[in-house]
Amino acid sequence: MKYEQLAKRILEKVGGKENVKSVVHCITRLRFKLKDESKAQTEAIKNMDEVVTVMKSGGQYQVVIGNHVPDVYKAVVTVGGFADQSQQSDEDGNEEKGSVFSRFIDIIASIFTPILGVLAATGMIKGFNALFLSVGWLEATDGTYQILNIVGDSLFHFLPIFLGYTAMKKFGGSPFIGIAIGASLVYPAVDTLMTGDPLYVLFAGTMFESPVHVTFFGIPVILMSYASSVIPVILATYFGAKIENGFKKVIPDVVKTFLVPFFTLLVLVPLTFIIIGPISTWAAQIIGQATVFVYDLSPIIAGLFIGSFWQVLVIFGLHWGLVPVAINNLSTFGADPVLTMMFAASFAQIGAVLGVYLKTTNKKLKSLSIPAFISGIFGVTEPAIYGITLPKKKPFIISCIGAGIGGALIGFFGTKTYMIGGLGIFMIPSFIGPNGLDMTVWGALIAMVVAFVLGVVLTYLFGGVNKGETPLEKAEVAATEAPIEARVTNAAEVKGEVISSPFVGQVLPLSNIKDEAFATGALGKGVAVVPTEGKLVAPVSGTVSALFPTKHAVGITSDNGAELLIHVGMDTVQLQGKFFEAHIQQGDRVEKGQLMVEFDIKGIQEAGFELATPVVVTNSDQYNLMTTEEKEVKHGDSLITLIK
């Protein structure tokens, strides 16, 4: 239970396990469905060292962890006891809240997330098998090739069985009934029944012309091949969950165990073959044709659009909306151009990260760039996005530009995906089709290189890496770009820099603060003060690097580079600025002892909030700290001494 403490802290900050309806995970995120999102302490979660950021999208509360999210997920499930809860959906009949689009994204994510890893793994095996065949390492008649192909095709061919499980669980039915529904659709005898002369033909002369080979109690059955299909099994399980829950209400408990699945399958499977299957298959074909039609209008523009906005879709979790479209295209046409056009995005992203690494003078940012770059090579770009490029703004925009140009090149070369494979470099074998290593594959590699180079060069030249938009970044850059004589002088000053008390009040150890993010030193080392006078003055001369809109917290960067955070009281952000009056603005220059914020102590206490106030050095990893031994302090007294 390496991540047990992290799991406990996350569950506490999302409102406790009783506030969690369900939790799943994808490649980098814990995806919670909370009963009441307002109970979640988003800022506290963001401030945890092990958390990259928090996103709210598609009806889900997403805690971005990174590559080790499966281990954190196991700890969360164990600590919260969610093993059974995760299989419960909406059996109580409650409808999900949110817009139709948000609910759609949530459904798609919930259905596909559990199988994503295995889907990528089998696709990679099939992709590498195709590569081995193309370069002549294997022959199609070799037993090795055939066995690897069986492994690679296994999940995709029997996809309805896997989706039957995950979709039925999502819709609130019994997952194993969903498996039986999916297995019925891919039962081998279905293809056998479709051979030979039909009894008659329905809808002759239309796009829905269908031969009928069998009937069910005289009702014509339009048989179709459902191997690798997506929409039929999802619709079937949706109605299956409704039917099952209906039978649960009328069948006595003593025989419910076997009679509920008996009647559910007896009603639903024939209904699927007669009505749901054909209609949903036609719908899938129409969706596929529409996708191809839009793509054929201009592959270059389509690639430019999807490439440019792919990372934005990923940030909000909206990329899930394109996943079923791509899988549907693969099952309908044997190839998909949609997901192919996002291929260059991860390489544009890591190109921007490399540009930041080469340009930045910030040692911390440089050290963060290395693991973010490595993750991005394999297609996991969240650490790069949230940790490096998005906070710096321009590098993220540049990465989107590079991804768009890469997507346009992919559209120009007509590259398509022939299997769902891995991400990043592991996606390359997915582009190998029946013609082997042709120009469409080389085109994807060209797009990858172009996107990467654009990311590096444009970020290095125009990314504003050392000219940040925030006062804090400007202060850091000014310090590092100063003449060598000035830097030597500053270094001597910082060696014994004194942080004065911004308050009149009582001194407490930081560990006494009732907030783990502060108490554990996760936000920086320092000390706490309980103010007895409602005035916050500047503890150093420097720049106001942050002033929260609610005026309860102030960031200040000293002239010598020390970064301070002063947070008046605990959870006082909930006061929305009431009882606080600011006398400074973000970006202002302040002198030591200057009045920055006034606050009403009595009003804050009567509103039910504690006044214990942390004063922390957020870049304390650069210093040794000595805190005052006095129990009481007043404005100007020595509070913290920094030793470089």
List residues with catalytic annotation.
26
Provide the token pair at 348: 């544009």
C-beta neighbour count of 348 within 10 angstroms: 37
C-beta neighbour count of 630 within 10 angstroms: 13
Beta bridge partners of 535: 598
Q: How many CA atoms lie within 13 A of 268 on its CB side?
A: 33
User: Nearest CA to 29 among 59, 67, 77?
Assistant: 67
Give the Cα separation of 516 and 494 in Å (integer). 29
> CA angle, corner 558, sides to 466 and 550, nearest 5?
90
Give the Cα separation of 573 and 53 in Å (integer). 19
Q: Supply the DSSP string of 311-360, one letter for each residue.
A: HHHHHTTGGGGGHHHHHHHHHHHS-BSTGGGGTTHHHHHHHHHHHHHHH-
Helix (H, G, I), strand (E, B) or coil at 307: helix
**219 near 205, Cβ under 8 Å?**
no
Provide the token pair at 95: 């409808």
Give the Cα separation of 509 and 494 in Å (integer). 23
Give the Cα separation of 521 and 516 in Å (integer). 8
**420 near 330, Cβ under 8 Å?**
yes
User: Nearest CA to 352 among 366, 373, 371?
Assistant: 373
Beta strand 535-537 pairing with 505-508: unpaired
Provide the token pair at 546: 């942050």
Query: What is the distance of C-alpha 511 from the center of its chain?
Result: 32
Helix (H, G, I), strand (E, B) or coil at 16: coil
